[in-house]
Amino acid sequence: MQRRGLARTIAVVSALGLTGVLGGCGAGKGSSDVTLRLVAADYGTGGADSSEKYWAALTERYETEHPGVKIDVSVHSWNDVDREVKKMVDAGDPPDMAQIGAYADYAAQGLLHKADDVLSIPVQADFVSQLANAGQVNGVQYGMPFAASTRVLFYNKTLFEKAGLTPPKTWDDLAANAAALKAEGVKYPYALPLGPEEAQAETMQWLLSGNGGYVDSLGSYGFDSAENTATVTWLKDELVGKGLTGPVAPGKLDRAEAFAAFADGDVGMLNGHPSLIETAGKKGVEFGTVPTPGIDGESRATLGVADWMMAFNKNGHDDEIGEFLDFVYSEKNVLDFSRNHNLLPVTTSASRTMDGAEQDKDLKPFLGELATSELYPVGNTSWAAVNVAVKQQIGKAVAPGGSPKGVLGGLQATATRAESSH
């Protein structure tokens, strides 16, 4: 791979906060009067914590150090951002960079820079390996992880103490605890959000805990495996069928509603990601977290989720894009973004710092899960279609009269068709 000489070295040193070593550094090679366009997602819950503030501060610092380069950032809600980028790409006018939920389709169309064509070697090597691997299509990294989270089991300490319970380690423990919570009048003993908002997350978490998952060790879809069928059947019979998942049918319960119910003190247990810490804390809920229970002990893996940065190649500017992204992925900036939004760092250096920082103690349970997490098969160009099918269908598998085997078989057929069409 061709490297960029002194200008690139200066950019790397600048990204690491060591500009004084080389003296004054200006813009890199070919970076005179260049405007880079970045489309990014908003991780905030309102104006006060909008991601616009993060990007405004970051780009102001960057432009001061690189007077020949302007960074034009537009921030959109998660409801809109993927669609906005697609609209730009379809119009033949892609941004230079996009920070969104999926990259594989654009990579498959040959629209993206390879990560090692834009990032310096130290920066690319700093990505958490689980996340870097998930950013690959056919063994080549195009997706650069930008934000990450994992899932753990949250439980309401007050409700548990009242019922004389200890946190569950196995499925049987979880079911027994849910039954005891139901007897105490808890509205949602275990909240099982399989509604269309984020059913793919809850589903994968459970499949992993039953020693299954969406794909096998070779990356092929295996929805209808014996392990997955057993897991969904257990959910239907032992939790949903026994009235332990609350008054709303799992297929109608969205993740946001389940989180809100937990923050209101109406949920005994649920799988949650780091944002629930702040949501529940603001409402004064006393909660604890434990690793996800598995079929016969702690789950062998937990769900990891990442969002992605990608660099489009149509406009060139690979030097300028690379220098800017090296700055974005500096330890300080990664930590600032992660702390602003209760997310996990995507780099090893920032993860190490967070692990040792008292201010980040609430995130440590999630950080500890990242190394053994499994991510959605985002490197498969078929994943977008499969993801939609999971959201639409999986709730039917646990409904009265539903067929776990039938629904999983249908999802497998959908996945096979989606694979063959790409």
CATH of the domain at 239: 3.40.190.10
Same domain for 238 and 194: yes
How many domains is the chain partitioned into structurally?
Answer: 2
Q: What are phi and psi of 90, to 5 degrees?
A: -65, -30
- Verify that 75 and 22 share a domain, yes or no: yes
The length of the chain, given as a count of residues: 422
Q: Is residue 376 part of a domain?
A: no
Residue 130 lies in a domain: yes
Question: Does residue 360 form part of some domain?
Answer: yes
Q: Check whether residue 204 and residue 352 sit in a common domain.
A: no
Q: Measuring CA to CA, which residue among 126, 75, 132, 144 is closest to residue 341?
A: 75
Tokens representing residue 145 in the block: 């992880």
163 is in which domain, residue-wise?
152-301+382-420
Answer yes or no: are the C-beta atoms of 98 and 309 closer than 8 Å: yes
Q: Is residue 250 part of a domain?
A: yes
Q: For each of the chain's 422 residues, which pLDDT tens digit applies?
A: 333 433 343 344 344 444 333 333 433 444 458 999 999 999 886 667 789 999 999 999 999 999 999 999 999 988 889 889 999 999 999 999 999 988 999 999 999 999 999 999 999 999 999 899 999 998 999 999 999 999 999 999 999 999 999 999 999 999 999 999 999 999 999 999 999 888 999 999 999 999 999 998 888 999 999 999 999 999 999 999 999 999 999 999 999 999 999 999 999 999 999 989 988 988 999 999 999 999 999 998 999 999 999 999 998 899 999 999 999 999 999 999 999 888 999 999 999 999 999 999 989 989 988 888 999 998 888 898 899 899 999 999 999 999 999 999 999 999 999 988 76
> Are residues 217 and 406 in contact, defined by beta-carbon separation less than 8 angstroms?
no
Q: Which residues of 212-230 are buried (b: 16+ CB within 10 A; e: fewer)?
A: bbbbeeeeebbbbbeebbb
Q: By three-state DSSP, how is residue 168 classified?
A: coil
Residue 152 pairs with which residues in a beta bridge? 272
275 within domain boundaries? yes
Residue 187 shares a structural domain with residue 219:
yes
3-state secondary structure of 264: coil
In terms of Cβ atoms closer than 10 Å to its own Cβ (0-12, 13-18, 19+), residue 38 is: buried
Q: Where are the alpha helices (DSSP H) in 242-376?
A: 255-263, 275-282, 318-328, 331-341, 348-355, 364-370
Domain assignment present for residue 377? The answer is no
Within this chain, do residues 255 and 332 fall inside the same structural domain, yes or no? no
What gap in Å lies between CA 347 and CA 371, rounded to an integer? 12
CA dist 28 → 4, 8, 104, 194, 230 (Å): 9, 7, 29, 49, 57
Please, which residues have CB within 8 angstroms of residue 248's CB and are 6 or more apart in sequence? 257
Same domain (yes/no): 295, 407: yes
283 shares its domain with 205: yes
**Angle between helix 383-397 and 199-209 (nearest 10):** 80
Whether 287 is in a domain gets the answer: yes
Residue from 301, 320, 338, 287 nearest 146 by CA: 338
Q: By C-alpha distance, which of 343, 373, 413 is closest to 204? A: 373
Query: Based on the domain organization, do 282 and 319 belong to the same domain?
Result: no
| 10 domain-assigned | yes
